[in-house]
Copies of this chain bind each other. A is one copy, B any other.
Amino acid sequence: MRYRCDRSEKVRVGVIGGGAVGLLTAYFLSAQHDVTIYVRRQEQKSVLIQQGVVVEPYVRKKSIKVKCIEDMVEPDIFLICVKSYHLPALLPSLESIRCPILFMQNGMGHIKWIKEAALPSNIGIAVFEHGVRKINDNKVLHTGVGRVRVGAFTEDDLDILHYVSLLHQDVFPFYQEMDWETVLQEKLIANAVINPITAIFQVENGVLLENPHLAWMAKKVCEEVATSLGQPWEKKWEYVKGIIQSTKENRSSMLVDMDHCRKTEVEEILGYLLDRAKEEIPYVHYLYHSIKALERQKRGDVEW
């Protein structure tokens, strides 16, 4: 193990993905580290080079190195910030990478793919708890300060935890977790409850507790999901209520995706739960088809 505990040490960070998570992460890490952001579209690359990364409500704009994914150069650590459903296309190009790789996807669907890919690197699984919304190709809005909680994928991957303290900043904290699965499941439960109901009823998160009928649903879905994952649901419901409270003014990512007629992460969240459930989970099943139905109504004839 190479332990590098000098907090002032500059790390070469490769952030793959120029979405909300990637831009926010690159913005904060570039204050201390040598960050390169990798994007797919030439158009976004140009905008980022010309205008830098802007994170509202902060004043300072940051210039960050930008490359296209084809031009990948191995840094000290890769942070994978693409949406789950883009991982299958990306994973083959990570097979020749030797540096640690930290995955920052939502849901749990990506775990299976990471397992199957059997990458030679040290692998970390992160849960990204910040509230962030993309405004355009170089601008995001930081709607809630959270944490990046990092666990080693297996016992062979413990080396990656060394980077937690290196990347940590008070304004953009990284935390070490022993059991990423529980942390990811907790976030999955919150996502499974908050995302679909807010998207179907087109409401901010807080309405899930203000409207008693939506509160009934949220609780039922939480109970069903937690039980299906083998977790104590009352405790998880307290957790989910806390998240709803602390993000009450926010529009969930699924609602925002729907508003912009973009593909949602329904497969990664509800599809994953349906796949792994051993018993009928009717509320999740209904929500899954509701989101799929709305996607279909919205997109009309356009194929994603």
Which of A2-10, A66-74, A225-233, A286-294 has 4 or more CB atoms under 8 Å from chain B? A286-294
Within the assembled complex, what's the spacing in Å between the Cα atoms of A293 and B220?
A: 15
Task: Report the minimal beta-carbon distance from A193 to chain B, rounded to whole angstroms.
Answer: 13
Residues in chain B near residue A283, CB distance under 8 A: 282, 286
The 4 closest A-B pairs by CB, nearest first: A213-B293, A282-B282, A213-B289, A213-B292
A259-304: which have CB < 8 Å to B? 282-283, 285-286, 289-290, 292-294, 296-297
Please tell me if the beta carbons of B297 and A201 are within 8 angstroms of each other in the complex. yes
A200 within 8 A of B: yes
User: Which residues of chain A from 201 to 224 have any CB-CB distance to chain B below 8 Å in the complex?
Assistant: 201, 203, 207, 211-214, 216-217, 220
- Given B200, B212, B217, B296, which contacts A211 in the complex, CB threshold below 8 Å? B296
The CA of A201 and the CA of B290, in the complex, are separated in Å by 8
Please tell me if the beta carbons of B282 and A214 are within 8 angstroms of each other in the complex.
Answer: no
Closest Cβ of chain B to A135, distance in Å, is: 27
**26 interchain pairs (CB within 8 A)?**
A200-B200, A200-B290, A201-B293, A203-B297, A211-B293, A211-B297, A213-B289, A213-B290, A213-B292, A213-B293, A213-B296, A214-B289, A214-B293, A216-B289, A217-B286, A217-B289, A217-B290, A217-B293, A220-B282, A220-B285, A220-B286, A282-B282, A282-B283, A282-B286, A283-B286, A286-B286
Chain A: residues with Cβ within 8 Å of the partner, total of 22
Q: What is the chain B residue whose CB lies nearest that of A280?
A: B282
Q: Are A294 and B201 in contact (CB under 8 A)?
A: yes
Q: How far is the CA of A202 from the CA of B296 in the complex (A)?
A: 13
Residues of B near A294 (CB, < 8 A) are: 201
Chain B residues contacting A286 (CB-CB under 8 Å) are 217, 220, 282-283, 286
In angstroms, Cα B191 to Cα A35, docked, is 59
> Closest approach, in angstroms, between the C-beta of A18 and any C-beta of chain B?
31
* Least CB separation from A214: chain B residue: B293
A35–B203 Cα distance when bound, in Å, is 48
Which residues from chain B contact A212 at a C-beta distance below 8 Å? 296
CB distance from A207 to the nearest CB of B (A): 8
Besides the contacts A212-B296, A217-B289, what 9 more A-B pairs have beta carbons closer than 8 Å?
A: A200-B200, A201-B294, A203-B297, A211-B293, A213-B289, A214-B289, A217-B293, A220-B282, A283-B286
What is the CB-to-nearest-CB distance from A51 to chain B, in angstroms, rounded to a whole number? 39
A214 — which chain B residues lie within 8 A by C-beta? Answer: 289, 293
* Cα distance, A296 to B203, chains bound together (Å): 12
Residue in A285, A286, A292, A293 whose Cβ sees the most chain B Cβ within 10 Å = A293
